[in-house]
Amino acid sequence: MMEKEWYEVKKRKLKELYWEQNKGNPYLPNGFLVYPHEIYDFFLGFINHPGRVIDLGCGNGLLLRHLVENSEHELVPYGVDFIEESIEQARRDILPEFADNFVVANVRDYVREMPDEYFDFIFFDPYNVHPKDLPETVNHLIRACRTGGRIIFYTYHDVLESLNFEWVGDFLTEEVRRKLKRFDHPEVSVGVLEKS
């Protein structure tokens, strides 16, 4: 399957799963039936100073709101998702005071335009990008991350199992994988790259 078709199929499937079957559940646009406190608190542990945080593939922004509301550090949230309904909900209901920081876009395309050394924390699930696009995408993430910042690579264990992967690092090149610090959670696999 060509990359363009791969993204179209992924968007169609996610839109159907998260929105056409939503029935008003505000957690479903992020793939959960109930609020995932434990997972979001796990992610909160990777925030170690104030700054700009972006979630690439943010759904309706619930993770970002959790980080902003619960971090001991002042954060400015940014979110990108290719499902229009999710971004509209983020702007209208989840983080309306930061509405201008939410963008409808394909993550692969968005990262190419991110400013250098701009974000302190970048949350990125490599499963959201076609495997052929991953090396270039990761290079853009490293460029856009500020010195002293962190790129938090993550994916959920059901995805890893479906791909027969052990951890999120299996998506990435050996060079990037060697730079990651691995963190395991019962539901999510995380690799953190500290930019020095």
pLDDT in the model for residue 97: 98
8's tokens: 């179209």
Cβ neighbours for 156, distance < 8 A, ≥ 6 positions apart: 31, 187, 188, 189
Contact in structure between 160 and 127 (CB atoms under 8 Å):
no
Q: Quickly list DSSP for 108-121.
A: HHHHHTPPTT-EEE
Q: What Å distances lie between residue 121 and 55, 70, 79, CA to CA? A: 8, 15, 12
- Quote the pLDDT of residue 140: 98
Residue 97, token pair as written in the block: 């005071």
The predicted model scores a pTM of 0.94
Q: Does domain 37-194 have CATH number 3.40.50.150?
A: yes
pLDDT exceeds cutoff 70 at 25: no
Instruction: Read off the pLDDT band of 18 (50, 70, 90).
Output: confident
- Specify the residue for token string 């460029």: 143
What residue has token string 């593939």?
Answer: 57
Average pLDDT rounded to a whole number, residues 19-28: 66
pLDDT value of residue 23: 64
Per residue in 59-98, pLDDT (tens digit) is 999 999 999 999 999 999 999 999 998 999 999 999 999 9
Domain ranges of the chain: 37-194
Q: Enter the tokens of residue 6.
A: 């791969």
Which tokens in the block code for residue 61? 């922004």
How does residue 20 score in pLDDT terms, banded at 50, 70 and 90? confident
